[in-house]
Structure 1
Amino acid sequence: MDVIALIARIVFSAIFIGAGIGHLTATQAMSGYAASKKLPQPTLMVQISGVYVLVASALLILGIWPDLAALALVPFLLVTAFVFHDFWKQSDPMAKQNEQQQFSKDLSLAGGALALFVLYAADPHPGLNLVGPLF
């Protein structure tokens, strides 16, 4: 079961690794989108969020405080869902549908991150961790 838990952490984190790399390699493009959503200092916020999700993902994959790493992803996902994927504000049907799907994806990922948090907070050993849970 340890190997399966490790594989689950890697697969779950893959989307965040991709997002973090995207934040750092396509900062200008992402900053424009962040600015359109009225995010203050969009370039800096895109860079900070990229590093944030990369660090949280690395900690989760490596099993270094996996409970904290999983919990750290939740605020990122909730902000992304409610600020960036505000489908209820869209008038174009295609844009509304796309934003609603992204909103749902982020909420689902937040639920998965919370489930991982509970798993690692309750049982410090699943998944070949380098360091046990913090909480």
Structure 2
Amino acid sequence: MDVLVLIGRVLFAALFLGSAFAHMTQSRAMAAYASSRGVLAPVPAVFGSGVLLLAGGLSVLLGIWPDLGALLLVVFLVPTALLMHGFWKETDAQARQMEMVQFQKDLALAGAALMLFGFIARTGSDLGLTVTGPLFDLR
């Protein structure tokens, strides 16, 4: 089971690490988009969200307090869903549908990250193939 969980962690983290890279290398364009969505202080928001993505993704990938990393990803995903994908604000049907899909994707990923948090915090150091055990203990 350790190998399956490791493969799952790699696949899960890859999405967030790719996004972290984009936040760091395309910060100007991302800040402009964030500004268009009404985000206050878009440059620091893009940088901060990139840091959350990088820290959370690396934590899950490397198994260094991966439960904390999963929580960091939730901290990124829920506000992103609400602030960046407000489908209820869209008047164009196609734009509304696209934003609804993105909103639901972010919430589904937040749910998966919460499940990952619970799984890791409950399994403890029995998980294997991690650098550290979990930071939280839900046994």
TM-score range, shorter chain: over 0.9
Q: 1:96 to 1:85 in 2, by over 3 A?
A: same
1:29-70 deviation line (CA, Å, top 9, x unaligned) = 110111112222211211121122111110111111111111
| 2:95 is aligned with 1:95 | yes
The answer to whether the 8 Å contact 1:87/1:97 transfers is yes
Q: Distance in 1 between matches of 2:25 and 2:98?
A: 23
Structure 1: stretches of 5+ with no match in the other structure: none
- The structure whose RCO (Cα within 8 Å, separation 6+) is larger is 1
Question: Residues 74 and 110 of structure 1 are in contact (CA less than 8 Å); yes or no, is this contact kept in structure 2?
Answer: yes
Q: Measure the CA separation in 1 of the matches of 2:4 and 2:128.
A: 7
**TM-score, normalised via structure 2 length:** 0.93
- For the pair 1:60 / 2:60, whether they are aligned, the reply is yes
In the superposition, the TM-score normalised over structure 1's length comes to: 0.96
Question: For the residues of structure 2 that align with 1:38 and 1:89, how far apart are their CA atoms?
Answer: 12
The one-letter code matched in structure 1 to 2:42 is P
Aligned partner of 1:28 in structure 2 is 28
Task: Check conservation: 1:63, 1:128, Cα contact below 8 A.
Answer: yes
Runs of 4+ in 1 over 2 A off after TM superposition: none
Distance in 1 between the 2:85 and 2:39 partners? 13
Unaligned runs of 5+ in 2: none
* 1:111-130 Cα shifts (integer Å, max 9, x gaps): 00000000011001225110
Which sits farther off after the overlay, 97-106 or 32-41? 32-41
Q: Structure 2: how far apart are the matches of 1:48 and 1:5?
A: 28
Root-mean-square deviation (Å)? 1.0
Cross-structure match for 2:109: 109
Identity of aligned residues (%): 48
